[in-house]
Structure 1
Amino acid sequence: MFMELSDTYKTLAEPAEGLYKEKGSKFLAFAWPVETEIEIKELIDQVKARYYDARHHCYAWQLGNDGMHFRVNDDGEPSGTAGKPIHGQIKSYEITNVLIVVVRYFGGTKLGTSGLIQAYKESAADAISNGIIVERTIDKQLTIHFAYENMNDAMRVIKEMEPAIVHQDFNLRCEMVLSIRESKYMELSSRFEQLMGVSLVDEKP
């Protein structure tokens, strides 16, 4: 019996934008679904290049399913007034694998600490609410090798367990790269391990 693991998470289906105005200041919010820190850095750099004349480019991002892998940045705003309230909205909507950047154009009137917190919170919330939240599964990949005479046995397991076939090569030696949601990974591995003539190679998620 295999225990069901928490292998789903909520994120944005596609990029979204939001806007908040207060006392002449304009806060442009941009939210993206993301997978890696490299992707995050590229997006932040793109925003800074496009809105080079803005005073602040504040952001927050979160990756992974445990809520522990995140970063906030106030980009010159008073500590805790920008990145933290942006991240607060990511947590409030219970989404992850998300980057939100809020670009501020200063309107000449200072908003104060509470005003800034409210502005960054509302602009981030607007971007998320304008987006589409979807549920995704955390998947893991598995590579199997087998001889032609073992193909029927291997394909029977694939038909029953329904992993996605990422890659297959039936030339000199049969090789298949499969992807399945994390909670079913151990069961799939076990099924293949019980087959004669099938060998497994673990892949990264």
Structure 2
Amino acid sequence: MLATYRTIQSDSIHETEIKKSRFICHLKRITSEAEAKEFINQIKKEHWKANHNCSAFVLGEQNEIQRSSDDGEPSGTAGVPMLEVLKKNTLINVCAVVTRYFGGTKLGAGGLIRAYSGAVANSIAETGIVEGRLQQEISVTIPYNHWGKLEKFLETQKIVVKDTLFTHEVTAICFVDEDQVANFEAQVTDLLSGQATFVAGETSYSEQLIEE
């Protein structure tokens, strides 16, 4: 499993107009090639009157699967530029379909490349990118007299605390990057002179919006 990954925050639709041609970019998070193809066909059916429905998608932890289609536009002016934008943003598991309604003015090869790549880039910026981090749930149990120290440490290190339980002791349920668990436990142990016990919980991805 990846320690981190980047993808779009959510599925979206974003439209731009260039010389009276409408470029409608549809973005979708995908989990399989079949899902990507189904999405592309869905957009084609929805916009069957459009001149072109060009597409590109990346799939897999290392983008093992990459596909693109110019759908009737001059070769290399739509699908590949769209794919390059997805790769430049280091996204995984995303499908982009750009629907074009021709406005009567030809854009030329360079203009088409800028239009299709720009449609995807603008849509990604509008939607937002999230970073998913593989994190381990760690329950840290300590005596009451050490809670102040631990609380300050967690705040300083920007450790996400899921919950805090106050019984005869204090238990903080924390989310820690999976590759930092050993370091986290060592730091807490040193900070509290060994007066802490740790219990590992589930491992899962948490996503945070990236401000760019």
Smaller-chain TM-score range? 0.5 to 0.7
Instruction: Select the residue among 115, 130, 133 that pairs with 1:134.
Output: 130
Instruction: Select the residue among 12, 37, 41 that pairs with 1:45.
Output: 41
1:20 maps to what in 2?
A: 16
State the alpha-carbon separation in 2 of the partners of residues 23 and 33 from structure 1. Answer: 30
2:201 pairs with 1:162: yes
State the alpha-carbon separation in 2 of the partners of residues 51 and 31 from structure 1. Answer: 15
User: Cα offset for 1:106?
Assistant: 0.7
Q: Matched residue of 2:103: which SS? A: coil
Instruction: Select the residue among 46, 59, 64 that pairs with 2:60.
Output: 64
Superposed CA RMSD in Å reads: 2.0
Aligned residues of 2:62 and 2:92 also touching (Cα < 8 A): no
Q: Matched residue of 2:106: which SS? A: coil
Structure 1 unpaired stretches of 5+: 140-158, 165-179, 182-205
User: Cα offset for 1:6?
Assistant: 4.3
Aligned residues of 1:17 and 1:130 also touching (Cα < 8 A): no
1:113 maps to what in 2?
A: 109
Q: Deviations over 1:5-43 (max 9, x none)?
A: 743211112112222222221110011111111211121
Instruction: Select the residue among 54, 73, 76 that pairs with 1:77.
Output: 73
TM-score normalised by the chain length of structure 2: 0.62
Q: Deviations over 1:121-141 (max 9, x none)?
A: 1101111111131122579xx
Structure 2 unpaired stretches of 5+: 136-197, 206-212
User: Cα offset for 1:161?
Assistant: 3.1
State the alpha-carbon separation in 2 of the partners of residues 52 and 163 from structure 1. Answer: 46
TM-score normalised by the chain length of structure 1: 0.64
Change (3 A) 1:138 1:48: farther
Q: Matched residue of 1:60: which SS? A: strand
Q: Matched residue of 1:71: which SS? A: strand
State the alpha-carbon separation in 2 of the partners of residues 83 and 55 from structure 1. Answer: 15
Change (3 A) 1:37 1:138: farther
1:54 maps to what in 2?
A: 50
Q: Matched residue of 2:55: which SS? A: strand
Letter in 1 for 2:90: E
Q: Matched residue of 2:99: which SS? A: strand
User: Cα offset for 1:163?
Assistant: 2.3
State the alpha-carbon separation in 1 of the partners of residues 33 and 133 from structure 2. Answer: 20
2:177 maps to what in 1?
A: none
Letter in 2 for 1:38: A
Letter in 1 for 2:3: D
Letter in 2 for 1:96: I
Q: Matched residue of 1:118: which SS? A: helix
Structure with the larger RCO, 1 or 2 (CA within 8 Å, 6+ apart): 1
